[in-house]
Every structure is written in C-alpha cells, then in structure tokens.
Amino acid sequence: MKNELMGRNNNYDFFEEAMHDFFPAFYGGKHNRNYMRTDIKENENDYLMEVELPGLDKKDIHIDLKDGYLNISVNKNEKEEGGKKENYIHRERSFSCSRSYYVGDIRKEDIKAKYENGILNVVIPKEVREKAENHRIEIE
C-alpha cells in the first residue's frame, strides 16, 4: 500500500502524513494554534477561561503569572515502565507546548484554577481600577 501512495514524490510517508492529519496540533506551523483552544467568558466580577487540554494529568500542566501575562505550559513525558521496552513504530504522546494570555495587573493569589475532564478552568478577577474622585477646585 505504501508503494502505491508514493506516486511522483518518492519521499511520501503514509504513516507520517496520517499522523499529521489525525494529530495536527502537535506538528507546529499553522496547526499548532489549534492546541490549547480557549473560550473566555466575562462575568460581572471576573473572567472564566476554559482551556482544552485533553489526555493530560494535572501534574503535566503549569500556570505562571509574570508581568501581567498568564502563561500556561504543558510538558507531557511518556516513560517506559519497569525498564520494559516496547516495539513502537511511532510515538507521539510526549510533547510540550505553551500559550500566554495578557490578564493585566492581577495578584496570583486571586487566580483560581481547576482541571477536570480535559478542561482547565481558570477564574481571573477583573482589574480593579481606582475611580477618579471628583475634586472641586475653588476659584478665588
């Protein structure tokens, strides 16, 4: 079957191309923006971010806040258990990626995060801006 698919380009690899089609988010380029798809809802006092991160454990996800940016990164490593070697032809479940979101001047203590069923929910309070008080200036 592979020989039939080679056609004009002798470098065509059916298995590699199939992996690009089924798992485009892991292959960079224009497809990598499809990973960590995020919905953001605005509530009265905060924002709710829902970030898709399927197939991960909570320990694989890291959230940092620096200079007004919320950085979400993923580092998933598949390890051989007990020194047992398997005869894999192709393996892709080890990867890393990250994404940053500007959230403004927020304290890290005010941000809440929960990971459940492949969705990372992050609650970010709205920035509290000091209201300018009206000060009447008397004219002499």
Q: How would residue 6 be classed by pLDDT, with cut points 50, 70 and 90?
A: very low
Domain 36-125 listed as CATH 1.10.3720.10: no
CA 28, 29, 35, 40 torsion: positive or negative?
Answer: positive
Residue % of the chain over a pLDDT of 70? 66
Instruction: Fill in the amino acid letter for 56.
Output: L
With 60 as the cut, is the pLDDT of residue 137 above it?
yes
Domain spans of the chain, in order of start: 1-34, 36-125
With 70 as the cut, is the pLDDT of residue 17 above it?
no
Q: How would residue 95 be classed by pLDDT, with cut points 50, 70 and 90?
A: confident
With 50 as the cut, is the pLDDT of residue 31 above it?
no
